[in-house]
Amino acid sequence: MNPTPGSPDAALTAAAEAARTAYARARAAHDRATLAEAVAEGADGTPTMRIDRIVEDAVLRALEPHHVNILSEESGWIDKGSEVSLVIDPLDGSANGAAGVPLTAFAGAVAIAGEFTEAYTVWLDTGRSWWAHREVPTPYRTSGRTELAGAALSLLRPHTSVPGPAAAWWAAASRAARVRILSTTCLEAALVAEGAIDAFADACSDTHRLVDLAAAAVMVTRAGGAVLDVRGRPLEFDTDLTRRWSGVVAATPQLGRELAETLRTAADTATAGS
């Protein structure tokens, strides 16, 4: 680990570089159908695409010399007996990557004795990166927006087969000035941190795992924003990848609370009436 924080931790950097190299090679070597093929079941119980497996395997190899614990999307918890753990999503936006849509990211956070200290996100298709440490001033500033009305939102796609999330999605979208669906939580969180969008949310579908939100917990809060859960569940270090959150990543705590309340109220009302 870096004794004096001033740049990304060496393990985070090695993991990100390995992810970007493996991603580029996988895209060059395989067609879309091959990359999208389900080849295993991940630690969170969801299918693992071939492109996920290729990228994560490369990241795990790159991390072997660093002797840190690893919590990764597909392999789950790898205990090295260290006080230091990396919580990583080697390839966020897998479906985008397999299809050739250039919206994918590596994201990782360092946890020391269970406390998140720094985060690093890399846009794999471009190499653009964001780094934040809780003890280092950051150049990133959120938009500072405090109200949902007129906000620029990014949302996970609505789960229209379930009344609660669909209603929640529309309740937020109908109050916003602009809505985007990018399908890459880690990249969208970085865009909140730098003020490009006002907020990002999962509309009550409990889709997010810790690997999706850990980097945002450091980066966005350091930039003046907030990361919370629609149901008020704390975002904390946990090696169980079956735990889920409906994450809200917002430019300010005020906007985060309003957005969470809007989503929760609409979902509960729809569910009660179904």
Please enumerate, by residue number, every residue annotated as part of a binding site for Mg(2+): 73, 89, 91-92, 212
Cα three-residue angle 246-252-257, rounded to 5 degrees: 45
Cα three-residue angle 237-243-249, rounded to 5 degrees: 70
CA distance 37 to 145: 41
Helix or strand holding residue 83 (H, E): none
Instruction: Give the residue carrying structure tokens 């889709």.
Output: 207
Annotation: binding site:
73, 89, 91-92, 212
**Biggest distance spanned by C-alpha atoms of the chain:** 56
- How far is Cα of residue 86 from the mean position of the Cα atoms in its chain? 14
Instruction: Give the residue carrying structure tokens 């690997």.
Output: 211
What's at 85, amino acid-wise?
S
- How far is Cα of residue 13 from the mean position of the Cα atoms in its chain? 17
- Say if CB 37 and CB 205 are below 8 A apart: no
Strands lying side by side in the sheet with 247-250 = 178-180, 152-155, 199-201, 247-250, 226-229
Cα three-residue angle 87-92-97, rounded to 5 degrees: 150
Instruction: Give the residue carrying structure tokens 């924080």.
Output: 5
Determine phi and psi for 46, rounding to 5 degrees.
Answer: -105, 160
What's at 221, amino acid-wise?
T
